[in-house]
Structure 1
Amino acid sequence: MTDRPLPAGTAGPTGSARPVDRPTADAWAALGGPAELVERVGFHGPDDVLPSGLPVRRLARATVAVCSLAAAELGALRAGGPVPAVRVDQGAVATAFVSERHLAVDGRTPVSFAPHSGFWRTADGWVRTHANYPHHRTRLLAALGLAADAGPEQLAEVLGRLPAEQVQERAYAAGALAVAVAPVSTAVLPLVEHLEVGAATAVTGSAATAVTGSAATAASARPLGEAPVDRPADGIRVLDLTRVIAGPVATRTLALLGADVLRVDSPRLPEAEDAHADTGFGKRSTRLDLAEPADRAVFEELLATADVVVTGYRPGALDAHGLAPEALFARRPDLVVVQLCAWGWTGPWAGRRGFDSLVQAGVGIAAHEAAADGHPGVLPAQALDHGTGYLVAAAVLRALTDQRTVRPGGRHLRFSLAGTAAWLLHGIEPEEAAEPAARSVPAEPYDPSRWLAETDSAYGRLRHALPPIGYRGAPTDWSRPPGRWGTDAPVWR
């Protein structure tokens, strides 16, 4: 497979009253969406959101816009009417992109990063660590010869004596997470990869034309009846095999739009309850040990009637459990399978663990955003996570439409945080060079409280960000708050 830049945006026809937003057009083309629908997208709300040296605001609103448009497209298919207009509020987008920071549980604000996570000066530069989970902290300290109860001061002292790349590789060998802060990468990864079902060929960027394969031609997606405009994914069953932000944001969005989403985790892997309180809205969550025959049988029963499988693990990590895409399609050739990873699907880093903060460090975003004193910087949001999450949700919605309008059969799509980072670095014009988007009302000051709500849950009273999906008739909140992680029965609704 050869990586290549994203396609150019789709311009509106001569005399079009609404200018087309280039990042939105690029993302929509990458997802294989009909070019003429982009003209239905408009933006409003405050402009002074997600400030950065990179075009984060444009990335954020474009990813939400294509997700909204994909939902509107599927809804129109099921209702038998025209695709409704999409109106994305930039304030809602900015608030949702930092939903984990707005979360409060009975008045308590969770801590986003643990004391051993962050930027650290090394002997020759900087390194970024991620130690939010206890097992990652233990591995990091052990890799550096420190006791399991060593504090941040001891960690800083050891890191200051070592080269950044040596820290990175020692951590990797130990299953810990540390990445040297690198200069801006010149790699241009695909935003999305469309793979043939039953073959190993990938089509990158916007080339989502009809592909064939032995499995693809053997099955048709089940028919869908009518659905309410605010639930275009009603009746769709989604197996959610994702963790942390990007995948859970995608499946949280699908649940918002009516899908029956069941998250499945291993009982051997811990989860941060606060993270689930943020991303568990609208869906249910269960725990199954796929190494145990009884749990495996339950999982196979769920898979037998699923429509979509979304995975968020490293390439190859699920293969031993019979969950490689080829194995899934062998059992269910009509599935939509979407995979998400950190570093991309090819190359020496493909199999490495990663999180948004680490990818920012490894691809040069942290260096690009560095302060005057050289201290590495960060984006104003975990934008790679959230942006990729909305792209994944959009891809699922588009695939469901595509199965019923273009060709039947399975769909296999792949995303990576590094691919979204490459788009941010190289595929979107800087803010000052961008053409203004269509606007029907003047810009307004940003007040995030407008897009926050409170609801009771199994975790207590939650303050949370409202969903940013915007099309005529779109849902304004989830149908249910998050339940306790891993406590739901492993059954479909």
Structure 2
Amino acid sequence: MDSDFSALSAGTSHAWAALGADPALVERVSYGGRPGGLPARLPVMGLARATVAVCSLAAAELASVRTGRAVPRVRVDDGAVTAAFLSERLVRVDGRAGTGFAPLSRFWRAADGWVRTHANYPHHRDRLLRALGVPDGPGVADAVAEAVAGRRAVDVEDAVYAAGGLAVAVRDVARWAAHEQGALVPARPLLTLERVDGPAEAGPPRAWSRVTGAGTPLLPCAGVRVLDLTRVLAGPVATRTLALLGADVLRIDAPHLPESQEAHDDTGMGKRSTTLDLGRRADHRVFEELLADAHVVVTGYRPGALDRFGLSAEALAERRPGLVVGQLSAWGRYGPWRGRRGFDSLVQAATGIALLEGSGGEPGALPAQALDHGTGYLLAAAVLRALTGRCGPDGGGTRLVRVALTQTAHWLVHGPAGTPARDGGLDPERWTTTKDTPTGRLRHALPPVAYEGGPSDWTRPPGPWGADPARWATA
């Protein structure tokens, strides 16, 4: 390995402690595989190993609780972890790779520094152009460059945010620490897992009594129903992992916010996908019927965006006692940026990571969207631990899980994630598989979450985004 065991286990132990779990179980984790994935100045590989390790260990712990067996041993393989953190880049459909970032999603030189924009979705692109006063058409990238170059970076940030778009000024670590949002981050934990006041449903979640979880492979989430209200990338990674572990995951999107099929080919593994307009009475009624039989709800929209539909943690706890609620945000649910949209690339730019990974005064990027992937595995781990808690003697009540990209970023920059990795390369053939799907011949990364007796792949490939009926697969 490119780090000694103490460095490897430090990151895992830190994340496992944040989950409120038994520290002795960390001894059941081992590491191996070809070293040197995800080379960077920051310890990206250490973060990746640790987040996959705690997710695997949380799955093993839940499997133990549901079967009465000993906690299975966990194995973290560098090759599998590297492939998983690069999963969106490894996807091929009929041999074709995805398009990646859109042309207007990039760094731009401002009058006093740099700005990072995100314009992959058409509505974000339109808002960016409107904020900058740039007409669409030929030469639009040059026009954006000229518009940004004549302004201060924070002025671009403010203008684009006011228009509902996505742009942040590139800051170094010190400037982020002094920022009114960044200054709040160090006092916050890596994640939170707590109870929510509301009616208590005692004992294991409904419908679990008829599921032993003792099959082959060992699926700790068998019988668990998950409503997935998330979008790229961290939330879908988390729910993709729950699907791997046996959960019936139904992703729900608004029909007026279409998802990229390319993204769904990567993160839709094991799930079904439907659309509901929660603003329409009939669709909202369907959602409430689904909620009545759900065990987990995971949301990935900016804080408060779904509250008007009765999807705050408190409202969910009142209507569906005993639910596990997972909430993901970019900037955290606190401070002046709590209601802002955000993506991995923007958090890297704002928190100092882009400048740490850059060179020659120009910003750079991590070798993977590691904040997204790492936060996704932390979110899945916390949901699994919440389900374990629901099975215990004091298991009544609703559990609330909260994670944020900015907290994961702080851990990467300042926490015990390990030492930076050198480039050992990746063998895509070993850590990917190919199968026929409704949209074509799909190559995808294999899952990194692994424990004795656990699954080695998803039971179903993704289909066309939004094409499934709005009902549970299990009766």
Find the counterpart in structure 1 of residue 410 from structure 2. 422
Find the counterpart in structure 2 of residue 194 from structure 1. 193
What is the one-letter code of the residue matched to 2:471?
A: V
What is the one-letter code of the residue matched to 1:405?
A: G
Matches within 5 A, 1:7-46: 21-46=9-34
Find the counterpart in structure 2 of residue 111 from structure 1. 99
Q: Is the 8 A contact 1:181 1:364 kept in 2?
A: yes
What is the one-letter code of the residue matched to 2:435?
A: T
Cα 1:18–1:377 change in 2 (3 A) is: closer
Of 324, 346, 356, 1:368 maps to 356
Could you say what secondary structure the match of 1:263 adopts? Answer: strand
Q: What is the alpha-carbon distance in structure 1 between the residues aligned to residue 376 and residue 364 of structure 2?
A: 23
Q: What is the alpha-carbon distance in structure 2 between the residues aligned to residue 413 and residue 87 of structure 1?
A: 25
Query: Is 2:402 aligned against 1:380?
Result: no
What is the one-letter code of the residue matched to 2:270?
A: G
Deviation at 1:194, TM superposition (A): 2.6
Matches within 5 A, 1:176-191: 176-184=165-173, 185-186=176-177, 187-188=185-186, 189-191=188-190
Find the counterpart in structure 2 of residue 172 from structure 1. 161
Find the counterpart in structure 1 of residue 205 from structure 2. 221
Query: Is 2:382 aligned against 1:390?
Result: no
Matches within 5 A, 1:265-280: 265-280=253-268
What is the one-letter code of the residue matched to 2:453?
A: G
Q: What is the alpha-carbon distance in structure 2 between the residues aligned to residue 429 and residue 92 of structure 1?
A: 18
Could you say what secondary structure the match of 2:391 adopts? Answer: helix
Cα 1:391–1:326 change in 2 (3 A) is: same
Of 201, 225, 231, 2:219 maps to 231
Deviation at 1:218, TM superposition (A): 6.5
Q: Is the 8 A contact 1:20 1:38 kept in 2?
A: no
Matches within 5 A, 1:298-337: 298-337=286-325
Could you say what secondary structure the match of 1:196 adopts? Answer: strand
Could you say what secondary structure the match of 1:405 adopts? Answer: coil
Find the counterpart in structure 1 of residue 181 from structure 2. none
Q: What is the alpha-carbon distance in structure 2 between the residues aligned to residue 407 and residue 358 of structure 1?
A: 40
Deviation at 1:444, TM superposition (A): 8.0
Query: Is 2:154 aligned against 1:155?
Result: no
Could you say what secondary structure the match of 1:431 adopts? Answer: coil
Q: What is the alpha-carbon distance in structure 2 between the residues aligned to residue 352 and residue 146 of structure 1?
A: 23
TM-score scaled by length of structure 1 = 0.89
Q: What is the alpha-carbon distance in structure 1 between the residues aligned to residue 40 and residue 341 of structure 2?
A: 26
Report the RMSD for the aligned CA atoms in angstroms: 1.8
Q: Is the 8 A contact 1:141 1:155 kept in 2?
A: yes
Deviation at 1:216, TM superposition (A): 3.8
Deviation at 1:153, TM superposition (A): 1.4
Instruction: Between 75-84 and 231-240, report the one with greater CA deviation.
Output: 75-84
Q: Is the 8 A contact 1:218 1:333 kept in 2?
A: no
Cα 1:219–1:40 change in 2 (3 A) is: closer
What is the one-letter code of the residue matched to 2:248?
A: D
Q: Is the 8 A contact 2:204 2:392 kept in 1?
A: no
Find the counterpart in structure 1 of residue 180 from structure 2. none
Q: Is the 8 A contact 2:205 2:390 kept in 1?
A: yes
Q: What is the alpha-carbon distance in structure 2 between the residues aligned to residue 168 and residue 459 of structure 1?
A: 38
Cα 1:71–1:196 change in 2 (3 A) is: closer
Q: Is the 8 A contact 1:106 1:462 kept in 2?
A: yes
Q: What is the alpha-carbon distance in structure 1 between the residues aligned to residue 127 and residue 402 of structure 2?
A: 29
Deviation at 1:148, TM superposition (A): 2.6
Encode CA deviations 1:324-371: one digit per residue, 9 max, x unaligned. Answer: 111101101100001000001100011101000000001110011121
Encode CA deviations 1:70-101: one digit per residue, 9 max, x unaligned. Answer: 11111112221101110111110000101000
Deviation at 1:195, TM superposition (A): 3.6
Query: Is 2:82 aligned against 1:94?
Result: yes
What is the one-letter code of the residue matched to 2:437?
A: S
Q: Percent identity between the aligned chains?
A: 59
Find the counterpart in structure 1 of residue 124 from structure 2. 136
Structure 2: where are the runs of 5+ without partners? 178-184
Q: What is the alpha-carbon distance in structure 2 between the residues aligned to residue 217 and residue 350 of structure 1?
A: 31
Encode CA deviations 1:95-154: one digit per residue, 9 max, x unaligned. Answer: 010100001111111111000110111110000000001111111011000113252111
Find the counterpart in structure 1 of residue 434 from structure 2. 454
Deviation at 1:449, TM superposition (A): 2.1
Matches within 5 A, 1:226-265: 226-227=212-213, 228=215, 229-265=217-253
Provide runs of 4+ in structure 1 moved above 6 Å. Answer: 17-20
What is the one-letter code of the residue matched to 1:163?
A: R
Q: What is the alpha-carbon distance in structure 1 between the residues aligned to residue 255 and residue 454 of structure 2?
A: 35
Deviation at 1:179, TM superposition (A): 0.5
Bigger proportion of residues as helix: 2
Q: What is the alpha-carbon distance in structure 2 between the residues aligned to residue 325 and residue 243 of structure 1?
A: 19
What is the one-letter code of the residue matched to 2:130?
A: A
Q: What is the alpha-carbon distance in structure 1 between the residues aligned to residue 164 and residue 251 of structure 2?
A: 25
Q: What is the alpha-carbon distance in structure 2 between the residues aligned to residue 235 and residue 314 of structure 1?
A: 29
Q: Is the 8 A contact 1:197 1:216 kept in 2?
A: no
Deviation at 1:450, TM superposition (A): 0.8
Q: What is the alpha-carbon distance in structure 2 between the residues aligned to residue 399 and residue 110 of structure 1?
A: 35
Could you say what secondary structure the match of 2:107 adopts? Answer: strand
Could you say what secondary structure the match of 2:60 adopts? Answer: helix
What is the one-letter code of the residue matched to 1:196?
A: R
Q: Is the 8 A contact 1:334 1:410 kept in 2?
A: yes
Q: Is the 8 A contact 1:193 1:413 kept in 2?
A: yes
Q: Is the 8 A contact 2:83 2:426 kept in 1?
A: no
Could you say what secondary structure the match of 1:275 adopts? Answer: helix
Cα 1:474–1:197 change in 2 (3 A) is: same
Deviation at 1:406, TM superposition (A): 5.0
Could you say what secondary structure the match of 1:176 adopts? Answer: coil
Q: Is the 8 A contact 2:437 2:462 kept in 1?
A: yes
Encode CA deviations 1:444-475: one digit per residue, 9 max, x unaligned. Answer: 86423210111111221111111011111121
Q: Is the 8 A contact 2:10 2:418 kept in 1?
A: no
Q: Is the 8 A contact 1:360 1:366 kept in 2?
A: yes
Cα 1:482–1:351 change in 2 (3 A) is: same
Deviation at 1:191, TM superposition (A): 1.1
Q: What is the alpha-carbon distance in structure 1 between the residues aligned to residue 193 and residue 212 of structure 2?
A: 28
Q: What is the alpha-carbon distance in structure 1 between the residues aligned to residue 144 and residue 6 of structure 2?
A: 54
Could you say what secondary structure the match of 1:258 adopts? Answer: coil
Cα 1:182–1:20 change in 2 (3 A) is: closer
Cα 1:326–1:389 change in 2 (3 A) is: same
